[in-house]
Structure 1
């Protein structure tokens, strides 16, 4: 199992940051233009059972990625897990913590790559660096949108 975490402090109350994540266009907003990802569908908001489906181009090969929300505690956290996709397993927790009227937003991912330990040893650093790029972008967008006032 590999682990990734990215955290930032957003100068907005938890309510504002949580509600930002409920927007119907949230996946479009948080997906960087440089990622080869197409959003196919999003159903159910942040609630348990919500589904997000993506089409990812791996070179010229289109792959399907389906994530289902397995946990939701309003104004605190929600978790999505891969049901179908390109990795062996993927659990992504989004956590919202009040810090003196601001929000500590933390994304934590636990995942396994196809090919087991050898693949994780050889490729884990690369996957984590791509995740760092993506979540730096996502947190910048969240910060910009939620701090508008």
Structure 2
């Protein structure tokens, strides 16, 4: 099992950061423009049972990725788990913690690669590098958007 973690202090209250993640277009907004990903659907918001479906492109080959939300405590945490997709295992926890009037946004991912421990040893570093690019982008967008929204209120 491999692990990835990214944590950023967002300059906005928890309610603002949580509500930003509830936007209907959040998946499009948080997908980096350089990633070959298409958002197919998002149903159910952040609550338990919510579904997100993506089409990932590895060169000309499209792969379907479906994630279902398995945990939700409003203004605190929501967790999604891969139901169908390219990983052997994937659980992603999104945590929102108040910190001095701001929000500590932490993404924690536990994942496994198809092919087991040998493939994880060979490619885990590469997946972590991809996740770091993705979540650096996501946290930067969240910081910019939520700081702006916080200034408006």
TM-score range, shorter chain: over 0.9
Q: CA deviation at 1:100?
A: 0.8
Counterparts of 1:1-149 in structure 2, within 5 Å, are 1-148=1-148, 149=151
Distance 1:84 1:55 in 2: 11
Distance 1:9 1:61 in 2: 37
TM-score (normalizing by structure 1): 0.99
Which ranges of structure 2 fall in alignment gaps of 5 or more residues? none
Which ranges of structure 1 fall in alignment gaps of 5 or more residues? none
The Cα offsets for residues 71-119 of structure 1, whole Å up to 9 and x where unpaired, read as 0000000000000000101000000000011000000000000010000
TM-score (normalizing by structure 2): 0.97
| Aligned residues between the structures | 149
Q: CA deviation at 1:58?
A: 1.1
- Secondary structure in structure 2 of the residue aligned to 1:104: strand
User: What do you get for the CA RMSD once the two structures are aligned?
Assistant: 0.4
Q: Give the 4+ runs in structure 1 shifted more than 6 A.
A: none
Q: CA deviation at 1:59?
A: 1.5
Q: CA deviation at 1:135?
A: 0.1
